[in-house]
Structure 1
Amino acid sequence: MQPIGTTLKQIRQAKGFTQKDVYGDIISRSFAIRLESGQHDLTAGKLFLILDRLGVSANEFRFIQNDYQATASELARSQIMLAYDQQNFPRISHLATRYAHSDNPAERQMAVLANVLIMAFDRREMVATPAMAQLWQQLTLTKTWTLQEIDFGPIILVLTVQKKQPLAATIRKYHLACERYVSAEADPFHVMDARAAFDLVALQLLLNHQQYATAQQFKSQLLAGETAHFTSDGNLDQQLSLWIWEGYFGDPTVAANRAEALRQIPSTRFKLGIDTLLSTWNKRAAAYHQRQK
């Protein structure tokens, strides 16, 4: 990873800015020269001011500084979640085994995520591991969740079930965390998409564990928040959640129309996952209605 000043110079020159454009009234010209030559470092406050002038976020800066490479944990999470979107569980299992033996603790944490996702989808009885217990303790002790915990939404839900803690309390805590990062004007970290993915898993878990009263009241949460900030991913997850909800508690005609609309989505990396969900939850909803008779 190259020095901060070297990366700043690289970005500044790529964008065609002068040193005065970027550093003026933040640091002196002589300091800027030494900074870009690797002889000085900056305080965080000044670095953020400079990044704002360059139009680069802190995360993007780190990515560029790392020679345009994602960190190990970012790469692992991206691979696992892509496989989960595709419902490619052999791939997830392979990644779980691979990262479980990593020397990097962040990658080992991703292995926990992979294993939890597999067990949650298969509705298996979860066997707690020391890594899962450690992660749960960390989540419990963190009073206010930040973006890291928001990104870990599905694993938080499944660990909540494994620890026999109330799902409703975890859902509330997660939603409150999301609200801190979103306003009517902006959703800079795509938190609403993360919330939609979280809610899709939350609804499935409520139904899997026969918490039907809570699941029936969950529709208002599916429609809550600044949903105007959804990207196509967030909108898709919301539509899947609403389809599952209608299949259990709503109008069968509405559920059928939603299912048909979902089937018409052009082939994407999500297509296999959509087909699997439609097939799985059609059967479970039918079984639920049969039991109600």
Structure 2
Amino acid sequence: MVFYGFLQEPTVGAAVACIASSDTGVAAVVLGTVVGGTWLALPCVFVWHVCVRHSPLPLATIPTRRVRSTQLRWERVGRMLEWLCAEREEWVAAVGGATGNAAARLVKVRFGALFEAFRGGTHWYFAVDVLLGALTGVVIGAAESVDSADACAAAVWGTSCVLAIAALSVVLCVVLRPHVVRCELLVAVCVSALAVVAAGLQLAGEMSASAAVSLAASVLALLPFVARLAWRACKLEPSARRHVVGDATSSAKRTPHAASADASVLHVLPSNFLVTPARPAAFLAAAQQEEMLRLLLDCICRR
């Protein structure tokens, strides 16, 4: 759904422009109808499944536990990243028993990607995101489809509508606070606020400033992905801690030659990576990339 959210607004806008423009032919109208209808039908199906068919949701949220100090590579940075990137709640079965667990597992496996990013009681907020994105695309497409004689008026009312939608998004995020991760909530509020500022600057005729603010909003929208990678690199997996303990107890039994060989391997592979003949090259490359990211963050934190 992340990539769907990025592509929804331009796709719906292009479809509406193809349908509403007076310069397009029958083929463009048919194409816009098919693409726009298909693009909007998918979230409608998901909304029906989550909010209608499986209502009330057989899942509920509980507060997550704080990460232990032994699970963090760096204590201070880890606590800051935990406050920003750790999930405050997790979804579990609302009703115990075999039947309740089976229903909860079914919904979570099939539709968990839609609502797991939101807190309990606001699992439907993914539909609000889809609706706001679709409205923005419709407004932009309708404004772009007008004749050149009415282009100035269309730009004014189109930008005003976009400003109103962005302001509504800010209000909903601040009032409901639906996101389970603080970083995602802060970024959602900031991006919507920057969209309001960009629209206001565009109405004031400051096109260069509006473009700069829009660019800043686009870059800021990528921050949750970077923060999530940093949080994953800061956490120690259970297998990593077991390997660390095992290596500490067995290091005294190794020969100097074996110890030097292991030290050379550790520069390439992470400590929690167990090399076996059955591992394909893709796992080896992924492990090397994870270790490089960890070393980079380690250097930054030490400075």
Q: Could you state the TM-score of these two structures normalised by the residue count of structure 1?
A: 0.23
For the pair shown, the structure with the greater C-alpha radius of gyration is 2
Higher relative contact order (CA 8 A, sep 6+): 2
Q: Could you state the TM-score of these two structures normalised by the residue count of structure 2?
A: 0.23
